[in-house]
Structure 1
């Protein structure tokens, strides 16, 4: 039996970009280290608030800079309304930007946070891991799913 999931295209990871929006310095350190171990060929663009992230996406569109293929969003920046505002803005910014999958990762497992995030268009909602080993496992799973299993929208610009 031929399992096509094991076929990895070298072009799928080449020049890929992940936008990470996280306001906690401690979590950013864990995320950066876990990303380096799991996504060796992916550029992580780190932003600490929703306004800077929106500005970055607008700049990508205006200059032709390659858009990220995935957005990882901490919901509480520092309040959940900040994360929800980002979701609303990104989904209405431009059709190409609106297609980028957004994965919310939060310390909250509040059912209202989860439901509202999905209502605002997130692709996934994940509760943040508790230690570095769990963060590394999380990012390995993230890589396997978003880079090796599903097809992502084409972010056509080449630089």
Structure 2
């Protein structure tokens, strides 16, 4: 693993505990060694990104290099959180990959229009999820150059 790969924190925003566990297991299965943090709704996502409340410790909750975002979450959904992220001059550089159960054309068009980097519909099998996570990891952590965000 390259040093670049180690330094990138992944922040996963998903309200479903089982989905969070499956994504983490799929990333582990792909031998991804990046630090992974989880939030359960859009409000927590924004608090994490601004180091507010329980996420105030910047050492413990560093700025992520990639956000995996579910669209359908309570309190503040992924669409609202994405809009805030992409309207913030400091946060807009963070790549956001939508990882959701939605297949709605409206969601795909709207999130790309708002600046999402990729839109992925969650696979229905664990094996397919592992394959998606391996491909996603290879692309984001081995192929592309990501901006350094502090």
Same structural fold, with TM-score higher than 0.5 when normalized by the shorter chain:
yes
Describe the superposition over 1:58-79 as per-residue Cα deviations: whole angstroms up to 9, x where unpaired.
Answer: 018x765431110000111159
CA distance in structure 1 between the aligned counterparts of 2:97 and 2:143, rounded to whole angstroms:
16
Cα distance, 1:31–1:127 mapped onto 2, change above 3 Å: same
- Residue of structure 1 in register with 2:23 after alignment: 31
In the alignment, is residue 77 of structure 1 matched against residue 77 of structure 2?
Answer: no
- Residue of structure 2 in register with 1:139 after alignment: 133
Describe the superposition over 1:32-72 as per-residue Cα deviations: whole angstroms up to 9, x where unpaired.
Answer: 11122225320111011010110011018x76543111000
Describe the superposition over 1:4-57 as per-residue Cα deviations: whole angstroms up to 9, x where unpaired.
Answer: xxxx7x111123200000111221111111122225320111011010110011
Once superposed, which parts of structure 1, at least 4 consecutive aligned residues long, lie more than 4 Å away? 62-65
CA distance in structure 2 between the aligned counterparts of 1:42 and 1:72, rounded to whole angstroms:
13
Alignment RMSD, CA only?
A: 2.1
Structure number with higher helix proportion: 1
- Residue of structure 1 in register with 2:40 after alignment: 48
- Largest Rg, 1 or 2: 1
Do the aligned residues in 2 keep the contact of 1:92 with 1:98 (CA within 8 Å)?
yes
Do the aligned residues in 1 keep the contact of 2:42 with 2:74 (CA within 8 Å)?
no
* Structure 1 portions without partners, runs of 5+: 1-7
In the alignment, is residue 90 of structure 1 matched against residue 85 of structure 2?
Answer: yes
Q: Could you tell me the TM-score, scaled by structure 1's length?
A: 0.83
CA distance in structure 1 between the aligned counterparts of 2:57 and 2:74, rounded to whole angstroms:
30
Aligned partner of residue 20 in structure 1, secondary structure? strand
Aligned residues: 146
Do the aligned residues in 1 keep the contact of 2:93 with 2:149 (CA within 8 Å)?
no
- Residue of structure 2 in register with 1:17 after alignment: 9
CA distance in structure 2 between the aligned counterparts of 1:39 and 1:83, rounded to whole angstroms:
27
Aligned partner of residue 98 in structure 1, secondary structure? coil
